[in-house]
Structure 1
Amino acid sequence: MEKLIEGIHQFQSGVFGQQRALFQRLSEGQAPEAMFITCSDSRVVPSLMTQSGPGDLFMLRNAGNLVPPYGPLHGAESAAIEYAVMVLGVKDIIVCGHTHCGAMKAVLAPDSLARLPATRHWLTYAEATRQLMESHYQALPDAKRLETCVEENVLVQIENLRTHPAVLAGLSRGTLKLHAWVYDIASGDVLVFDAAAGQFVPIAELS
């Protein structure tokens, strides 16, 4: 906790003072370029990864970067997505998974959640991912299986995004694009799903 408090002091005395005009402008409203949906994992830092600043990204974080399908029980995720598209007018939504994801490890080993009922319930939104892994990837070595699970889950969550009316409307108008990313914690690489190739490729190949 002391480290965090010291960080606030440094922010107020240094960073904030140097960007006072920016923060004053942001106090009057926000106009983020994109919505970034990613995992709660402390090792994933979207602003650092993308070198974006305050006001650039509208972020939604949860365990496993999950997007519950649109339905009668509207949760925080649905509200955030709706607001980002309908009010803030974001043009891009990124779903970003990451290597060594604890949530995806649990999807592959559901028995590990016996003492975590809330987590077990939350990961039902990755049930399609679990079934894909069980049906098509049982023979993979453990490390490759986890890597594949992370990738497949991002694609499943992209499909869940399409069930949200605001997203569907934006896609039909051509004013919104969806992007599937995977961040490699160890290497710093970012992989992007290339629909034409049907696989994740280094982001540099699409630049």
Structure 2
Amino acid sequence: MERLIEGYHQFRTSVFPNERETFARLASGQQPHTMFLTCADSRVMPELMLSAKPGEIFVYRNVGNIVPPYGQQVSGVVAAIEYAVKVLKVGHIVICGHSDCGAMKALQRPEALTELPSVRAWLKHAELAHYVYAEHRERSVEDKLRALTEENVIAQLEHLRTLPAVAAALANGALRIHGWIYDIEHGEITAYDGKKRSFRPLEQDGVQPEATPDARFPASAAA
């Protein structure tokens, strides 16, 4: 806690004075251009990773960067997405998984969640990814974890499409959705290319692959 208090004083004396106008503008409302949905893992810091300024991204975090399909559960994440799309009018939603994800490790060993019934119930929304992940069982331990992390991001993108607010915004071209993986050790991000069904390095030219629907996840499976 002492470290956090020291950090606060540093913010007040060094950071805030240089951004006083920014904070004065933000005090009257927010206009983020992107919603960033990622894992609750403390090692994933969206604003740091993206060099984002206050008010640029609308961040939501939960265990496993999960989006329950429409109709299964009225949750905080679903409410936040609806608010971001319909009220804040974000133009992009990013679902970002990460390396060494504890939630994905738990999916590989569900018996380890006996003492965590709430976590176990929550991770049922990632079962679709675990089902597809079965095709990767011949890989190494590291490769299998990476594969499951990727499949989960793709599955959550499909869940995201089932939300009425998102479906409508996608249909009229007001919204684009993206699937990313953040490598903690190397500080690298890969983005999902739906047409090639693979993740590739995030481009610096601003032209990113479309997270188009994946044929392995029919709409009926996500609903």
Alignment partner, residue 169 of structure 1: 168
- Aligned to 1:204, what secondary structure does the other structure show? coil
Distance 1:6-1:93 versus aligned 2 partners, 3 A rule: same
Structure 1 residues 153, 206: CA separation in 2 closer, same or farther (over 3 Å shift)?
farther
Q: Which residue of 2 aligns with 1:32?
A: 32
Which whole-Å CA distance do the structure 2 matches of 1:189 and 1:123 have between them? 26
Name the aligned partner's letter for residue 172 of structure 1.
A
- TM value normalised by structure 1: 0.96
Match of 1:110 in 2: 110
Partner of 1:128: 128
Most deviating of 115-124 and 69-78: 69-78
Pair 1:139 & 2:138 matched: yes
User: Structure 1 residue 73: deviation in Å?
Assistant: 3.7
Instruction: Give the match for residue 5 of structure 1.
Output: 5
Corresponding position: 1:101 with 2:97: no
1:62 is aligned to 62
* Structure 2 residue runs without a partner (length 5+): 207-223
In 1, the alpha carbon distance for the partners of 2:151 and 2:113 equals 21
Residue pairs, 1:73-92, within 5 angstroms? 73-92=73-92
Post-superposition CA distance 1:100-144 (Å, at most 9, x none): 00000001111111111111111111011111123x122221110
State the TM-score, normalizing by the size of structure 2: 0.89
**Cα root mean square deviation, aligned:** 1.2
Letter in 1 for 2:9: H
Q: Does the 8 Å CA contact 2:130/2:151 hold for their aligned counterparts?
A: no
How many pairs does the alignment contain? 206
1:206–1:105 distance in 2 versus 1, CA, 3 Å: farther
Q: Deviations over 1:128-166 (max 9, x none)?
A: 1111123x1222211100000000000000000001000
